Amino acid sequence: MDYALLLIAFILMIVGILGSILPVLPGPPISWVGLLLLYLTKAVPMNYTVLGVTLAIALVVGILDYVIPAKGTKRFGGSKYGIWGTNIGLVIGILAPIPFGFIIGPFVGAFVGELLNDSKDSKKAFKAATGSFMGFLASTFMKFVISVIFLGIFLVKFWEYRGAFFS
């Protein structure tokens, strides 16, 4: 049973890293489930502190993933129309069957939203859309780093208790 948990946990760690780049999958929460499965093996003693802290981090990062692109739009001079456009564009970009829709969607959504707000100022709309894109990149980088850190914790714990797995 421990081997199955270990294998599934490792697969979830890899899927979590992929999910940090692909917005369809929530990367850090998936990686956290991989950590949980590692701690559910008989070989690794339960550590509620590590699991609690990493869960809190995964949840905060999951929430920030939706907030940061909108804040990027606002920081670059976008209005509420641009922020709504970013969020709507992200959802449409994820669901649309176009390559890199999750990258194009927030940018186009912010641009269209700003044009709806002020159709005469396309420079401002483009600047707000750029902010949206920068916010998207920042949140993707943050998710990737957290998922890689979770993988590091996983590997350190596995290595520490490797004797219990292979004895």
pLDDT tens digits for 67-118? 887 777 777 877 778 778 877 887 888 788 888 787 788 788 888 988 888 8
The backbone torsions φ and ψ at residue 146, rounded to the nearest 5 degrees and listed phi first, read -65, -45
Reference 66, options 38, 86, 46, 43; nearest CA is 86
Q: How many CA atoms lie within 13 A of 107 on its CB side?
A: 11
pLDDT higher than 80, residue 28: yes
Q: What is the pTM of this model?
A: 0.79
Q: Strand runs (DSSP E) across 70-115, as ranges?
A: none
